[in-house]
Amino acid sequence: MGLALCLTTLRSPAQNPAQNAPPERPKVTRILFLLDASGSMMAPWEGTPRWEVAKRLLAKMADSLNAYPNLQLGLRVYGHQHPNAEQNCEDSRLEVPFAPKNAAAIKAKLKTLKAQGNTPITYSLGQSAQDFPVDKTSRNVLLLITDGVESCHGDPCAVSLALQRKHIFLKPFVIGIGAEKEFGKALECLGRYYNAAEVKTFRTVLNDVIAQTLAKTTVAVNLTDEAGRPVETSVNMTFVNNVTGQPEYNYVHYRDAAGKADVLDIDALQTYDLVVNTVPPVRQANVPIRAGKANVLTYKTPQGTLWVQNTTLSPNPYGAPVPAVVRAAGSAATLLAVPGGARQKLLAGTYDVEILTLPRTVQRVRISQGQTTTVGYAAPGTLNITTDLKGYGSVYRLNDDESQTWLCNLPEASSKVNLAMQPGQYRLVFRTSTSQGSKYTDVRNFSIRSAQTSSVSIFGR
């Protein structure tokens, strides 16, 4: 019933409203500039205070962005309201709220600010979460410009990660200005870190960050056979944010009649692991996606098909097709369970297929690209236990070396038992529930033949 319900919720392409839906409205991108105004920003940088350089270039950037559609800017500053002597760890304020085309407001505000205080980066990151409007469709970008590390004993890396996990903002940009390379090691965990040791580099980095933020990025994924031909498709793919561990995009792969994969819009401001959900899955860590480019990713995913079925024409006492468990050859770890009679795609390779007959049977099979490998089991026979006495018992398989292997317990609540079993030699061990000693256990050997019934009488003569 559950499967039927799932299937009835699917629609044909003609019924799917998404086929005729209007194009999505462009997402709003919001860039929050988080600017360091601590006292150290007054240190000279190529003859000019870092603070003045940062304000001048930030003002130019705001000007250049003013004409972009679907873009809003905001400005938060820290360390500017209290002198450093006060060691104020909550000196952070949203000076210019988000609004479209607000470059003039940002430039005017920058002229009024002075650098003088502490460096409460962790507190400022936490406060920035309230600066972005509640809008699940927007792209929220944070750009931290600083010349120092946290001075208030906070953990900015932990806060940044927590806010990314909550989708408050994407992976932040961090620009360290006028600093040595070692300085960046403490800030790399915050996001994408850039070392701008020179004014010229600072200007270049600012432009590069904006280009990455606003440029359109596309990704096409080719799934190939062993020869590198892009013939595989209709496989689920997941782009997982490798910072937060959360899935960002789920797709079922598509290629057109010409064999060309379709183009996906992937936000390059995040970093991903790509999981191609074949069996077993193919995973690429740190997918190389270049911002503003048409990226083409290629992965070998040659697949064949496993078909588990009863290969005989005899009646099936099991009552239903028998399921199977698939493992990589020689491995104890289960890859998946396959319903009886089902066809399951697998990556080309060698597998152990355990068919859940009684007893279970294991076959090693080779799956080849584009081919179907059929795995079957012998037609079972039936064990019929005849007794009017309820009790406790087990069935064992008799091995060639005269040892025995336990298979299953008999149901305690029933005195009549019919079990579908694979052909072979077996042993039945049984004690009635009313007997008062282990010595009253009955042991019977029996054989099972395909498509035949074997009757075993417990405590019979």
* CATH fold match for the domains 29-214 and 216-300: no
Top CATH class of 381-457 equals mainly beta
Instruction: Write down the residue that tokens 């390779």 correspond to.
Output: 349
Q: Which fold has domain 29-214?
A: Rossmann fold (3.40.50)
pLDDT of residue 10: 38
For the segment(s) 303-377, the CATH number from 3.10.450, 2.60.40, 3.90.580, 3.30.1370 is 2.60.40
- 216-300 domain in CATH 2.60.40.1120? yes
Q: How far apart are the first and last CA of the chain?
A: 47
pLDDT of residue 373: 96
How far out from the chain centre does Cα 285 lie?
Answer: 11
Global pTM reads: 0.79
User: What would the pLDDT profile of 200-238 be if each residue is shown by its tens digit?
Assistant: 999 999 988 998 899 889 999 999 999 999 999 999 999
Burial of 318-352, coded b for 16+ CB within 10 Å and e otherwise, reads: beeebbbbbbbeeeeeebeebebeeebbbbbeebb
Contact in structure between 71 and 210 (CB atoms under 8 Å): no
- The angle subtended at Cα 410 by Cα 406 and Cα 413, nearest 5°, is 160
List of the chain residues with pLDDT < 70 = 1-25, 179-181, 311-316, 413-415, 459-461
User: What would the pLDDT profile of 397-430 be if each residue is shown by its tens digit?
Assistant: 999 999 999 999 988 766 678 889 999 999 999 9
**Residue closest to 354 by CA, chosen among 326, 335, 318:** 326
**Residue closest to 75 by CA, chosen among 101, 48, 93:** 93
Tell me the residue ranges of DSSP E strands in 349-390.
Answer: 349-355, 361-367, 372-377, 381-386
- Domains of the chain, by residue range, sit at 29-214, 216-300, 303-377, 381-457
Both tokens assigned to 286: 């740190």
